Chains A and B, each alone.
Chain A
Amino acid sequence: MNTRSLTRRRFLLTTGAVASGLIVGCSTSHAKSVGYAPVVGAFEPNSFIQITSDNQVIFYLPSSEMGQGILDGLSTLIAEELRVSPELIEVRHASLHEDYKNPEMKMQATGGSNATRAQFLPIRQAAADAAAAIRNAAAQQLNQPVDKLLLADGQVLADGQRYAYSEFVALAAALPVPENSPLRSPQQFDQIGRERPRLDALAKSTGTAIFGIDAEVENLYRAVVVRAPVVGAAVQRFDGTAALQQAGVVDVIELRHGVAVVADSYWRARKAAESIEVNWTQTELAGWSSDSLYQEFVETLNDASEKGLECCLEGEGDKLLDQAEHRVSADYFAPYLAHATMEPLNCTVEIDGDSCAVYVGTQSVQASAGAAVYYGDFDADKVKMHPAFLGGGFGRRGLGDDVAEAVEIARKTGRNIQVVWSREDDMRNDFYRPPALVRMQAGVSDQGIIETWSVRRVGPNIMDHVLDQWVDVLAPDYLNKGFVDWLSKFGYSVFKRFKADPSAGDGIYNDYDTPNKEVRHIPRDPGLRTGFWRAVGNSSNAFFKECFIDELAQRAGIDELAFRLANLQNNPRLKNATQLVAEKAGWGKPLAAGHFHGLAVHSSFGSAVAQIAEVSVEGDKIIVHRVTAAIDCGTVVNPGIVRDAVEGGIIYGLTAALYGEITLKEGVVEQSNFHNYPMLRMAETPAVDVHIVASQEHPEGVGEPGLPPLAPAVANAVFKATGQRLRHLPLRLS
C-alpha cells in the first residue's frame, strides 16, 4: 500500500550542519530542526526512517508539533511497528518534500486535527517495511530462516542471541525494501494505547526544546516592522532619518505593508522603530467599527431579499417551519477572535547570494517555503527549510505572512534577518476567527422531535483571506505572478458569490436527526483578515447550535439530556458520548448549593464530544468549577495526550467564552496585549475530567474537538443559574 516515492536523491537537503554519520544528541525529545540529512552507512528504507550503524533510529516527523502531541503520536506508531522503544527514537522535524505531504490534504501542512487519522496507516507501514527489511537482512547474514527471527526492543532475537539492528543495516541497505509488510493487529499493540509521559516533555521542561524564535545564525540582524494601524494599508511616505542615526541601526526600508528597522539587536531596532512616522494609505476597513459592523449584520439578516448561499438543504428545507407545534427563533452572535499563540510570530532567514535558509515554526513547511520563493524571489530549490517546534499554532501559523516579511527584508538588505513580532503586532495582524450573527429557527413537535432546522447567518468568510494568502505561496512556481494574483482574487469572488464558505456551515446542522434542514450564509466582510482558529467554524457554530437546542428542549418542556438523546438516534457515537458524560458528571443529581450543570455535545473532525460544565454565579461573575467531558475519537494512541488535548481545548474555549473579543474602531483592532485580551489564569481554571470511549475504530481528531462544546455548556449552565439566556459571546451577565 505504500506507494510513496523513495527517491531520496530528490530531497531538498536542508543543511550541512549535521556531519554525515555523526548523530549528535540522544534524546527523542529535542527534535532537531535539521530536516532530512543522509547519514553515511545508515539504512534509509524510506523518507521517514533512518537506522544508523551505531543503532540510532531517526524519525523524520512530517507533521508540525505545536502542543497537540503529534511528535509523540507518530513516534509511537514507528515504535510499535519497528519494535523499538519510543524513548530511543531521535525525532527530527522533516523539511520540505512531497513524501511528507499530509495524505488527506495533499499538502505538507498540519491542521484540521487529521494528522493521526491521515497517517495512522502510512507511517506504520513505513516502519513495518523497515522492520521487515532488517529481519530479512538478519536472516541472510545469520543464515537463519526469517520466521525464526523475532524483533524486540531494537534487537533481532535469533537462537537465544540478541543482535542490535545496527549489525544488519549495511546489508539491509543493499537489499530491496519489502512493501506491504503486515501491520500489527490491535490485539498485538503494546505501544499504541499505552499511557506514558509524552516524549517531548523532557526538552520542554528543561528549556532545551528549540522553537522558531530560538534560531540563531552568524551575523544575525534583528528587524522590527512598523505596521499599519489599519491592516492592509500601505506606506504613503515615511521618514527614517532619525531612526537611522540611532546606535546599532543599519537599515530602514519600506516593505509592502510597513517599514522595517534593522539593527544589531532587537532592543535597538525596537527603540528606533518608535521614532518613525509613517503616512498610510486609506483603506475600506478604516470605515468600519464593531458597532457599525454589527448594525450591518442586523440589517442584512433582516433583509429578506438577501437569500444567502446554501450550506445545506435537506428534505423540505425551512418550508414547514410554521407547521410545527413549537416554532422557536433566536438570534446569536460571536465576535472576532485572535489566536494569541504563546510564541508570537517570528521568522529567521539566513541569506547567501541566491539561496536562503528559513527557520520557522510553521503549520505548513510547504506554504512557508512557498512564501520565501514568492516574496523573496528565490528559486524553489534554493530555499532550505528548518522547521522547529511551534509555541502554539491553533491555525495561526502556516499562512506564510511571517516568512514573507522576513525574506522580503533579508532580500532587500542582503542581511541575515530575524523578525520577532511584538505581542501587539501579533494581536493586531492576525487572521481572526470571523464573527457571525445567526438566526436560529426550528420547528419541534410536542414529543420533542426536531422537525425543521433553519439557520440564516451573516458574517465574513475565511477562504477569501486564506486563498489570498495561499494561492500566492502554493501555486507552482512556473505560474507567473500576474496569473497567481488573478487566481487569488478569483478565489475571493467564488466564495463571495457562488459557493458558501465551508466553515460557515461547519457543524451547525449535522449532529441531529432532523429531516428538514436549511442553512444559508450571507457573506459580509469589512476586510479584516480572517483565518482558521482552533475548531474553525465549529468554534462558534457549536455555541449557536447547542444553546439553541437547550432553548428547544425548554420550550418543549423536556429535560435537555433526554431531548438530545431523542434527536440523536442516527448519531450513535455522539449519543453514546452524551450518555457517558451524563453518567460521569451525575446529570440530574443534586449539586453543591448554587451550582448548576449545563450540557453541550458536538461532533467535529471525526470525533464526538460531550461536556457538562458545573457553574455558579456571583454577582455578574461566572465561575466554572468543573468540566466533565467524554470523547469518542476512535483508536487512542496515547490516552494522556487525548485527555490533555481535550482539556486544552476546554481551557482555550473557556478563555474565549468568558473574555474573547476582538473589536474594531475605525478599522483599528482595539486589543493589543494580554491586559485587554485576557487569558484564563490558573485560579480561574476549572477541574477537568476527560473520559475516553473505548474504541477500535480508525483514529480521529483530538486537537480541536474538545473546544466547541465548552461555550454552550457554560452558557446553558448560566441560564439554569440565572434565567438569563446569553446569546452573545463572550458571555456577559447584565
Chain B
Amino acid sequence: MITFQLNNRAVAFDLDPDTPLLWVVRDHFKLKGSKFGCGMGLCGACTMHVNGEALRTCTLPVSAVQGAAITTIEGLGTPNNMHPLQQAWVEHSVPQCGYCQSGQLMSASALLSKNPNPSDDEIHAAMDGNICRCGTYGKIKAAIKSSAAAMRSGALAESAVQSFDPANRGVES
C-alpha cells in the first residue's frame, strides 16, 4: 500500500508498485489533466510537482512517492480560480492543440516558485524538458515573463482574465 498526498488529499494505491505515477493519477484516480507523450522522460507532458519539484511521472514508479506531496495541473488552479501562470497562459493565448500545456505549466510554476525573476537562460533550462509540437515556445516564454513580473509587483489584477459566470449568461451588456 502506497500512500501520498494528491492535490492536498490523502490517497492510497495498492496495485503494482512499479506503476508509473502518471498512470496511477490518470487511470486510477481519474485526473486526466496530466498527459502521456513519450513514456521515456523526454517530452514533459506528464510533469507534476513532487514535493514542489517538477518531475516526469511517466518514468517515476509510484513506490517512489510514498509519503510525498503531489500536485497536478488540477491542483495548480481551476477554471474559476486560476494560478497566475494559467491566467497569463489564457491572456497570451498560449495553447494551440493544448496537449503539452499541463506539463509546460507545471514546469513553469515550479520554476517561478523558486526563482521569481528568471533570465531567458534560466527559463530555457527549466523548460528544456518540455516539448511543444505545435511550436508555442515563444508564447510560453512571454507568458512566464509577464506572469513573473506581475507576481513580483504584486499587481496581479484579480480581473486579469474574465472567467465566465453562467449566472450572468446573456444579460450582461
Q: A46: shortest Cβ distance to chain B, in Å?
A: 20
For this complex, 12 residue pairs linking A to B, each with C-beta atoms less than 8 Å apart, are: A55-B169, A67-B98, A206-B86, A342-B131, A342-B134, A343-B35, A343-B97, A391-B100, A647-B138, A680-B137, A682-B140, A688-B138
Does A237 interact with chain B (Cβ within 8 Å)?
A: no
| A682 and B128 form a contact (CB under 8 A) | yes
Q: For the complex, give the distance between the alpha carbons of A647 and B137 in Å.
A: 10
The 8 A CB mask of A209-232 against B (1 = contact, 0 = none) is 111011010000010000000000
| A674 and B38 form a contact (CB under 8 A) | yes
| B105 and A205 form a contact (CB under 8 A) | yes
Does B20 interact with chain A (Cβ within 8 Å)?
A: yes
> Which B residues lie within 8 Å of A342 (CB)?
35, 37, 43, 45, 97, 99-100, 131-134
The 8 A CB mask of A407-434 against B (1 = contact, 0 = none) is 0000000000000101100000000000
Instruction: With A197-B90, A204-B98 as known contacts, state yes or no: A344 contacts B37, CB within 8 Å.
Output: yes
B95 partner, pick from A153, A205, A650, beta carbons under 8 A: A205
Does B172 interact with chain A (Cβ within 8 Å)?
A: yes
> Which B residues lie within 8 Å of A393 (CB)?
97
> Which B residues lie within 8 Å of A716 (CB)?
none
Instruction: With A26-B165, A267-B16, A392-B97 as known contacts, state yes or no: A208 contacts B89, CB within 8 Å.
Output: no
Q: Which residue of B lies closest to A390 (CB)?
A: B97
| B73 and A682 form a contact (CB under 8 A) | no
Q: For the complex, give the distance between the alpha carbons of A67 and B135 in Å.
A: 10
Interface size class of B (residues with CB under 8 A): 35 or more
| B133 and A687 form a contact (CB under 8 A) | no
Q: For the complex, give the distance between the alpha carbons of A88 and B173 in Å.
A: 12
> Which B residues lie within 8 Å of A222 (CB)?
27
> Which B residues lie within 8 Å of A210 (CB)?
32
Does A489 interact with chain B (Cβ within 8 Å)?
A: no
Interface size class of A (residues with CB under 8 A): 35 or more
Does A66 interact with chain B (Cβ within 8 Å)?
A: yes
Q: For the complex, give the distance between the alpha carbons of A645 and B89 in Å.
A: 17
A67 partner, pick from B86, B90, B134, B141, beta carbons under 8 A: B134
Does A235 interact with chain B (Cβ within 8 Å)?
A: no
Q: Which residue of A lies closest to B168 (CB)?
A: A88
Q: For the complex, give the distance between the alpha carbons of A265 and B18 in Å.
A: 12
Instruction: With A166-B170, A650-B135, A685-B137 as known contacts, state yes or no: A207 contacts B33, CB within 8 Å.
Output: yes
Instruction: With A673-B40, A679-B133 as known contacts, state yes or no: A153 contacts B172, CB within 8 Å.
Output: yes
| B170 and A88 form a contact (CB under 8 A) | yes
Those of B70-117 within 8 Å (CB) of chain A: 72-74, 77-79, 82, 86, 89-102, 105
Q: B15: shortest Cβ distance to chain A, in Å?
A: 7
Does B30 interact with chain A (Cβ within 8 Å)?
A: yes
Does A503 interact with chain B (Cβ within 8 Å)?
A: no
A648 partner, pick from B19, B34, B127, B135, beta carbons under 8 A: B135
Those of A542-557 within 8 Å (CB) of chain B: none
> Which B residues lie within 8 Å of A341 (CB)?
97, 99, 133
Does B166 interact with chain A (Cβ within 8 Å)?
A: yes
The 8 A CB mask of A171-204 against B (1 = contact, 0 = none) is 0000000000000000000000000011011111
> Which A residues lie within 8 Å of B133 (CB)?
340-342, 392, 394, 652, 679
> Which A residues lie within 8 Å of B3 (CB)?
none
> Which A residues lie within 8 Å of B161 (CB)?
197, 202
A247 partner, pick from B16, B28, B128, B130, beta carbons under 8 A: B16
| B96 and A67 form a contact (CB under 8 A) | yes
Does B124 interact with chain A (Cβ within 8 Å)?
A: yes
A-B complex: 8 closest residue pairs judged by Cβ atoms: A207-B33, A651-B135, A204-B98, A391-B99, A67-B97, A67-B96, A207-B73, A26-B166
Instruction: With A67-B96, A211-B99, A647-B138 as known contacts, state yes or no: A216 contacts B32, CB within 8 Å.
Output: yes
| B131 and A679 form a contact (CB under 8 A) | yes
| A87 and B93 form a contact (CB under 8 A) | no
Q: For the complex, give the distance between the alpha carbons of A164 and B168 in Å.
A: 11
Does B39 interact with chain A (Cβ within 8 Å)?
A: yes
> Which B residues lie within 8 Å of A153 (CB)?
170, 172-173
Those of B38-80 within 8 Å (CB) of chain A: 38-40, 42-43, 45, 72-74, 77-79
Does B136 interact with chain A (Cβ within 8 Å)?
A: yes
| A673 and B101 form a contact (CB under 8 A) | no
B135 partner, pick from A165, A202, A247, A652, beta carbons under 8 A: A652
Seen from chain A, the residues whose Cβ lies within 8 Å of a Cβ on chain B are 26-28, 54-56, 66-69, 84, 87-88, 153-155, 164-166, 197-198, 200-211, 213-214, 216, 222, 247-248, 265-268, 271, 340-344, 389-394, 420, 422-423, 640-641, 644-645, 647-652, 673-675, 679-683, 685, 687-688
Instruction: With A198-B93, A209-B98, A423-B40 as known contacts, state yes or no: A648 contacts B27, CB within 8 Å.
Output: no
| B170 and A216 form a contact (CB under 8 A) | no
Q: B140: shortest Cβ distance to chain A, in Å?
A: 7
| A648 and B98 form a contact (CB under 8 A) | no
Q: For the complex, give the distance between the alpha carbons of A208 and B82 in Å.
A: 12
| B20 and A267 form a contact (CB under 8 A) | yes
| B97 and A391 form a contact (CB under 8 A) | yes
| A687 and B89 form a contact (CB under 8 A) | no
> Which B residues lie within 8 Å of A640 (CB)?
93
Q: For the complex, give the distance between the alpha carbons of A267 and B27 in Å.
A: 10
Does B171 interact with chain A (Cβ within 8 Å)?
A: yes
Q: For the complex, give the distance between the alpha carbons of A650 and B32 in Å.
A: 30
> Which A residues lie within 8 Å of B73 (CB)?
206-207
> Which A residues lie within 8 Å of B90 (CB)?
197, 201-202, 205
Most B CB within 10 A of own CB, among A84, A207, A390, A649: A207
| B36 and A207 form a contact (CB under 8 A) | no
Does B123 interact with chain A (Cβ within 8 Å)?
A: yes
Q: For the complex, give the distance between the alpha carbons of A203 and B171 in Å.
A: 23
Q: For the complex, give the distance between the alpha carbons of A680 and B163 in Å.
A: 33
| B96 and A206 form a contact (CB under 8 A) | no
Q: For the complex, give the distance between the alpha carbons of A151 and B145 in Å.
A: 41
Q: For the complex, give the distance between the alpha carbons of A343 and B165 in Å.
A: 31
> Which A residues lie within 8 Å of B28 (CB)?
265
| B123 and A682 form a contact (CB under 8 A) | yes
Q: A154-B169, A164-B171 given. 17 additional CB < 8 A pairs?
A: A88-B164, A197-B90, A206-B33, A211-B99, A247-B16, A265-B27, A267-B20, A267-B23, A268-B16, A341-B99, A342-B132, A343-B37, A392-B133, A644-B96, A647-B138, A648-B135, A681-B128
Q: For the complex, give the distance between the alpha carbons of A54 and B166 in Å.
A: 10
| B170 and A26 form a contact (CB under 8 A) | no
Q: For the complex, give the distance between the alpha carbons of A271 and B15 in Å.
A: 14
| A201 and B102 form a contact (CB under 8 A) | no
| A66 and B173 form a contact (CB under 8 A) | no
> Which A residues lie within 8 Å of B93 (CB)?
197-198, 201, 640-641, 644
Q: For the complex, give the distance between the alpha carbons of A688 and B135 in Å.
A: 11
| A673 and B42 form a contact (CB under 8 A) | yes
Q: A731: shortest Cβ distance to chain B, in Å?
A: 18
B134 partner, pick from A55, A267, A392, beta carbons under 8 A: A392
Q: Which residue of A lies closest to B96 (CB)?
A: A67
Q: Which residue of B lies closest to A211 (CB)?
A: B99
> Which B residues lie within 8 Å of A651 (CB)?
132, 134-135, 137
